[in-house]
Amino acid sequence: MSQHQFQTEVSQLLHLIIHSLYSHKEIFLRELVSNSSDALDKLKHLTLTDDAYKQVEFDPRIDISFDEKAKKLTISDTGIGMNENDLVENLGTIANSGTKKFVEQLTGDAKRDSNLIGQFGVGFYSCYMVADKVEVVTRKAGENDAYLWSSDGKTGFDIEKAERDTHGTSITLHLNEEGVEYVSRWEIQNIVKKYSNHIPFPIFLHYEDTRTEGEGDDAKTITEQKEEQINAASAFWKRSKSDLTDNDYKEFYKDLSHDYEDPMFWSHVHAEGTLDYTTLFYIPSKAPFDLYRADYTPGVKLYVKRVFITDDEKELMPTYLRFVKGIIDSEDLPLNVSREILQQNRVLAKIKTNSVKKILSEFTQYAKDSEKYEHFYKEFGRPLKEGLYQDYENRDTLLELVRFKSTKVEGLTSLADYASRMQGDQNTIYYITGENEASLRLSPLLEMYKKKDIEVLILDDEIDEIVIPSVNKYKDFELKSVNRSDAADELKTDDDKKAEENLKPLIERIKKVLGDKVKDVKASSRLSDSPSCIVADTSDPTFQMQAMLKAMGQDAPSSKPILEINPGHSIIEKMQKMEDGDLFNDSVLLVFEQALVVEGLKLENPADFVKRMNDVINRAL
Ligand code: ADP
């Protein structure tokens, strides 16, 4: 028997792991199974490529067994195995120099440990979170001697000769208090399914099956040893697209998402070159129930070389694509990537960028069938609009994908279709925002556009208020809100300008009456049937937006409206001739208040408004 000391960094690493990772202690099984899978991969490679190994039998399998009474758990494989030298090198030192540096840096600063520990490989040593003694019996493929490596994970390890029938490695954990929960068939099965289901080699669980036969005094308890394969042993997404039927894809989707409906469509990519990865994304046929909750469940799982890493990482997709379900499997990431590393990792960032582009191009393709796209848009149109302000890089693509209601067409229209309908020298896309489609369609703000036969988009979705003003442009066309004061400027004719001149004295008188209720009073060129309307100043948030922010409990800066009056309306014409006095004042207030009402805004004092109106009716009767 030979005794060995752990390399200093190993002792430090062991200490770090035990004290920082215990809340994720179940990953020890993932690490051991991954090591076995690697050992099988290595042997497979050699038997395929090296003549010296041509004779070695390759019967790949991983076996897990446990002994409840003795609190022992064994993970065994038929992989490459280790000789004495390998054992000293691999299970006594840290080979990776990056890891070594990291450990040196970390030790001594206990506070930072738990955040940073995940950034380097923990691997084999993680089993000391759940065991106070570990024994490794191993025989290297092509060699005759087997060895037993054993250690309590404190200062060093022993190596002695041992017996093993075949090449491969068996690791036995003598479980501690933290580990006893893992001598359970269900526990092991769950962890393997969660992390290692798609490892490409079969994993067998051995267990005792106890049943009673016969009745009464004849009853006998029979105990049988059984084994069961507990992983799927194939990475569905790694299979070639041509081997898979639509049905295969649908079934895998249901497995993955626990959705019982078929997906709407999917996209499967095997990328090779500077980066090797596979992605398989699904669009559900219905929006997930938690789509609009801050604590939504992310739909994309991350795998590294077919080993499950996480399904709880919102960063894998931009928020606006949170309804996408699927898998990213990278060949270029380390197995032990922590959340912190994931968020800054360049490999992952690149995969993400490519994936988003790919997904959006699938949407673009899908949009060619307007009937199908309508269904898609009903479910996911809103998150796509969020993308307009979240994803600047893909804004042009997203602008082609969003749809709006309009004064000119039934249903929804794209911006491209709006642009194709523009007439003459129109180079602005007009839109009106508000809560209620019906009242928006009747808004006095639209009168002039109707008269001039100019199309206006009806934006009645709450999110439009936030998103669309940030867009500004579609191709070379400016987007302008007709709720704002400057939208009608470019429609002004010479006649309008003359009428404006004429109205100046009346405007001054109105301003005196309204005082600081308004920001300004102007002659309008956008009205035809209504005497007045209110608009927001170019740089102010619209009133609907202000009301929305208030409803959301945010104290928004409330800006004052601009009152526009219609020079061609008979009420305004009559007001020009009126003397100052109560009747004039009431008329001014009523012209202002009705404009507020039409826009769906609250009056400061509804009772006063009603009283004024009744006075005027009384006079007229
Ligand atoms: P990593 O797997 O990140 O290299 P580990 O600490 O998990 O780090 O393992 C260290 C080394 O021990 C491995 O690289 C491998 O060479 C060897 N090893 C671990 N488990 C096995 C096994 N089941 N069969 C053969 N070699 C193994």
Ligand 1 within 6 A of CB of 545: no
- CA atoms of 491 and 524, how far apart (whole Å): 11
Q: Evaluate: CB of 460 within 6 angstroms of ligand 1.
A: no
Q: What pLDDT is recorded for position 358?
A: 97
* Structure confidence by residue, pLDDT tens digits, 31-73: 899 889 889 988 987 887 788 998 899 999 999 999 999 999 9
Query: Contact, 516 vs 522, CB < 8 A?
Result: no
Quote the radius of gyration of the chain (alpha carbons, Å).
36
Indicate whether 115 pLDDT > 60: no
Residue 584 beta carbon below 6 angstroms from any ligand 1 atom: no
Q: What pTM does this model have?
A: 0.68
CB-based contacts of 344, cutoff 8 Å, min separation 6: none
Give the residue with greater pLDDT, 560 vs 456.
456
HEC sequence for 5-53: ECCHHHHHHHHHHHHHCHHHCCHHHHHHHHHHHHHHHHHHHHHHHCHHH
**Torsion angle, alpha carbons of 433, 436, 442, 445, to 10:** -20
The beta strands (E) that lie in 520-598 are given as 520-523, 532-535, 562-565
Would you say the CB of residue 141 lies under 6 angstroms from ligand 1? Answer: no
Q: What tens digit of pLDDT does each residue of 569-586 get? A: 999 999 999 999 999 999
Average pLDDT, stretch 428-447? Answer: 90
Q: What is the whole-number distance in angstroms between the Cα of residue 28 and the centre of ligand 1? A: 13
The secondary structure of residue 571, as a DSSP letter, is H
DSSP string over 75-134 = EEE-S----HHHHHHHTTS---HHHHHHHHHHTT-HHHHHHHGGGS--GGGGGGGTEEEE
Under 8 Å between Cβ of 307 and 361: no
Residue 232: pLDDT band (50, 70, 90) is: confident
- Structure confidence by residue, pLDDT tens digits, 261-318: 899 999 999 999 999 999 999 999 999 878 887 878 889 989 888 877 887 788 899 9
Q: Is 36 in the pocket of ligand 1 (CB under 6 A)?
A: yes
> Starting at the edge strand that comes first in sequence, how are the strands of the sheet with 300-304 ordered?
263-271, 277-284, 325-330, 300-304, 307-310
Task: Tell me the CA–centroid distance for residue 124 and ligand 1, in Å.
Answer: 6
Locate all alpha helices (DSSP H) within 266-325, ordered by sequence. Answer: none
- Same CATH topology for 236-361 and 494-539+556-620? no
Task: Kindly state if the Cβ of 82 falls inside 6 Å of ligand 1.
Answer: yes
Amino acid 118: pLDDT:
46
Q: Is 469 in the pocket of ligand 1 (CB under 6 A)?
A: no
Helical (H) or strand (E) element with 342 = helix 339-344
Q: What residue segments make up the domains of the chain, in order of their start?
A: 2-229, 236-361, 494-539+556-620
Q: Which fold has domain 236-361?
A: Ribosomal Protein S5; domain 2 (3.30.230)
pLDDT digits (tens, 9 = 90+) for 160-181: 999 999 999 999 999 999 999 9
The string over 148-158, giving b where at least 16 C-beta atoms fall within 10 Å of a residue's C-beta and e elsewhere, is bbbbebeeebe
Determine contact, residues 190/205, Cβ cutoff 8 Å. Answer: no
Least confident of 83-87, 295-299, 346-350, 378-382: 295-299
Cα(341) to centroid(ligand 1), Å: 22
Nearest alpha carbon to residue 82 among 205, 170, 11: 170
Whether domain 2-229 has CATH 3.90.1150.180: the reply is no
Output the CA 409–ligand 1 centroid distance in Å: 65
The tokens for 405 are 């209601």
**Domain boundaries 494-539+556-620, corresponding CATH code:** 1.20.120.790
For residue 528, what pLDDT is reported? 84
